[in-house]
Every structure is written in C-alpha cells, then in structure tokens.
Amino acid sequence: MAMIASPSQDGKKVAWVPIVLITISIAFLALIIYIPAINVFYQAFRKGIGPFLANTRQPNFLVAVRLTIALAAISVPLNTIFGLCAALALSRKQFRGRTLLLSLIDLPFAISPVVAGLMLVLLYGRNGWFGPLLEGTDVRIIFAFPGMVLATMFVSLPFVAREVIPVLDEIGPEQEEAASTLGANAWQTFWRVTLPSIRWGLLYGLILTNARAMGEFGAVSVVSGNVAGKTQSLPLFVEEEYKQYATESAYSAAVLLALLAVVTLVVKQIMERKTRISDE
C-alpha cells in the first residue's frame, strides 16, 4: 500500500499513514482503557492509602474476595481439563458430529451471560427441571455457591479449547505418531511431545479463562441472588457498592480486580522467561 508522504526539513520523506494510525490507536486505547483505569485508581486513592485499606477490611469485601478466588480456583482447572480433552478429540479425531461439538463449545461466546444464568435457573431452580430432585436431596444450586460455579464455568468454558485447537492443527500429528512408533505410551506422548508444543496456547487460554472467571458479572448475578456477605463476588460487590453511593468502597474493589489482572500478566511473563520461549 502506498503511504502518503511529505518532504521533511532535511529532505527525507515522512510517511504520515503510520503516524496517523498509531495516533488513532493510542487515542482509542486512552479513551477506552487507560483513562478509565487511571480514574479508578485515582478515585480509590484520592483520600490516601488509609481509607483504601479500611475499605479492603470490610467483612463483605473480604467475603467477596474469597468467593471470587474460589470461583476461579474451581472453574479454571475444570475448564482446562475439559478444554484439553476437547481440543485433542477435535484436532486428532474425525468423527460424526465433530462440527456440531465445535459449535457447541463456542456457544458461550454467542449467548448473553444473563441468558446463560437464566438457563441455569430454569434447570436447577426450585421450579426447574431438576428442582424437585434437588429439593428432595436437600441440595441447593441456585442462589448458592454451586450455581455461581456453574455460571462461571459456562462463560469461561471455550477459551482453553479455542486457543489449543489451532496450535494442534498447526503442528500436526507427525511428532506424536513418531513417539508412539518408538514405544511411548499415550501419557508419555502427551507429556513429552504434545504438551511442550501447545504450552503457550494453553497458557494463553488459562489466562483468558482466569480473567473471565474473576470478572464475570451477568451470569453470576442471575444465579447468585447477590446477597452481601454470602453470594456476592467482587464484580457484584462493586456494582452494589456503587448503587449504594459507597463509591470509595466500589473503587477499592475495582482496584483489586485490576491488580489481580496485572498479577495474571506478570505470572505469564515469568513463565515465559523461565522456559525461554519469549520472543527475545
């Protein structure tokens, strides 16, 4: 593509198209991400570190933190196992219904989180399909922690599979077949051949899954009941505190969510350096 250029003072032509595109990108990111994020930190700390720490010691805040971490701790490993199994099956096997299964994995991308929460209520709620059975066994799913786990797993389900499948398709089955020919069993082939090849796709899927699990609002809001101190995760806590005009508390929780995201990115960088697979 020909770039629009004009002569500079030393006679060299200046390409304006890259400069304009970079300026637009930076301005867009500033309006959508940087300025709002900076404003959250400013609002949280504008009265000093003391009020911020006091907000983070509220009982409801601490419960929200524990619930958010628990949701991620359960949903991320389970979705990772499912994503790996689904990716291996879809990439290495040809079977009837393969396209349908691939579409079903993408379903959480297409469905509104609120609708996903409503689906769970219609299944596991008191008047849902499994409601009478759950009541008979004294098991509560909706408006309780198990329902929040199900909702979190639903919305964060496709990320690992969707990141690993293209990597498996790209590397092909040749190395695995060679390992099998040399006498490696299925586990040895996966651990020593497949996993090293897909680790960065898997890691990226893990990061996305964890970020979605910790930040999910819509589906968890529908199935949790949003009871402060009981079924209120951090995103729900932020929304509730803001509605109650406790803006400093809301911003403090938002800062913690942002820091959790930063920690996730730092862990990714550390792992990249340790395994020497970074782009350097």
DSSP conformation class of 32: I
- What is d(CA 126, CA 130) in angstroms, rounded to the nearest whole number? 8
Tokens of 59: 């009982």
What is the C-alpha separation between 135 and 141, in angstroms, rounded? 10
User: Is residue 277's pLDDT more than 60?
Assistant: no
Task: Please give the angle made by the CA atoms of 118, 205 and 254, to the nearest 5 degrees.
Answer: 65
CA distance 247 to 134: 39
Per residue in 212-267, pLDDT tens? 898 889 899 999 888 888 889 999 999 888 888 888 888 888 898 888 878 877 87
For the full predicted model, state whether its pTM sits above 0.75. yes
Which backbone phi and psi does 32 adopt, to 5 degrees? -90, -35
**Which amino acid, one-letter code, is at 256?**
L
Res. 276 pLDDT band, cuts 50 70 90: low
What mean pLDDT, rounded, does the chain reach?
86
pLDDT score for 269: 74
Q: What is the mean pLDDT of residues 146-172?
A: 91
As a whole number of angstroms, the distance between CA 264 and CA 208 comes to 9
Q: What is the pLDDT of residue 79?
A: 94
pLDDT at 72: 92
Residue 67, Cβ density class (10 Å: 0-12 exposed, 13-18 middle, ≥19 buried): buried
Instruction: State both tokens at 92.
Output: 């290495």
> Tokens 């930076």, residue?
26
